[in-house]
Amino acid sequence: MKRFSWQLCLGLSLVTVSVFLYFVHYAIFQDAHHIFIFLVGDIAFVPIEVLFVTLIIHQLLNQREKRAILKKLNMVIGSFFSEVGIRLLQYFSHFDYNFDKVRENLVVMNDWSEQKFVSTSKSLKNFDYRIDSQKSNLEELRNFLIGKRDFLLRLLENPNLLEHESFTELLWAISHLTEELAARTDVKKLTNADYAHLSGDIKRAYLVLIHEWLEYMRHLKDEYPYLFSFALRTNPFDPNATPEIK
């Protein structure tokens, strides 16, 4: 109510000033004809001014604000991969019987173009992943995810994530897998149906994680070459990767 009253008082004050200035103009020049000419002209320009402000300037400001939000969000995504994502890619790859074939497509090179990132991501969406939750150490994965549960929840609380649907989908997939594993007291003694269900949960998170990792690598290459250099040297899919520069 206070905000509305303040705006109302301001509006009335501006209208009063305008009327007063028109009155002064008439008092000096005694020319109502020109007053109405300029008044109608100014009123006629109002729709064009509204169009310009709302559809052009407002759109430019929205785009600028969105770029700023996405920049902040990419910082969040970077912290995710540093804290969880890279390790999780390594864990998931141990459950994939076709990992060697997947790895061939994910040894990112310094000369990759944007089109190369896009085409690789598209091809891997249709790749034949063979995930088996019994192939590797499921208990180790369970302990890792439970240990990162608070970190993942804090990420989901970030309102900027609404601007990035695919990353939000990734966090939900990982959180769901975490809850599934945490609900089982002993992952070494499960039924075959239960292992098959967990395989599906791992696969869901694995696919989205690979896609988001490629998008993150593309972003680093375009915006932060020095971070991209480090990401290449710590690529979890490159068996020859090393953080040390040779």
**Would you tell me the crossing angle of helices 32-51 and 2-29 to the nearest 10 degrees?**
140
Q: Give the pLDDT of residue 181.
A: 94
| pLDDT digit string (tens) for the chain, length 246 residues | 455 577 778 778 877 888 787 788 778 777 777 777 777 767 776 777 777 767 776 666 666 666 666 677 878 888 899 999 999 999 999 999 988 888 888 888 888 988 999 888 888 887 888 999 999 999 999 999 999 999 998 888 887 776 678 888 999 999 999 999 999 989 988 999 999 999 999 999 999 999 999 999 998 998 888 888 999 988 888 888 787 776
Q: Give the pLDDT of residue 121.
A: 86
pTM (2 d.p.): 0.72
Going from N- to C-terminal start, the domains of the chain cover: 2-60, 73-233
Which two tokens mark 174? 């990982």
Burial 147-176 (b: 16+ CB within 10 A, else e): ebeeebeebeeeeebeebeebeebbebbbe
> Which among 63, 59, 133 has a CA at the least distance from the CA of 95?
133
Q: Give the pLDDT of residue 148.
A: 93
- DSSP state letters, 13-69: HHHHHHHHHHHHHHHHH--HHHHHHHHHHHHHHHHHHHHIIIIIIHHHHHHHHHHHH
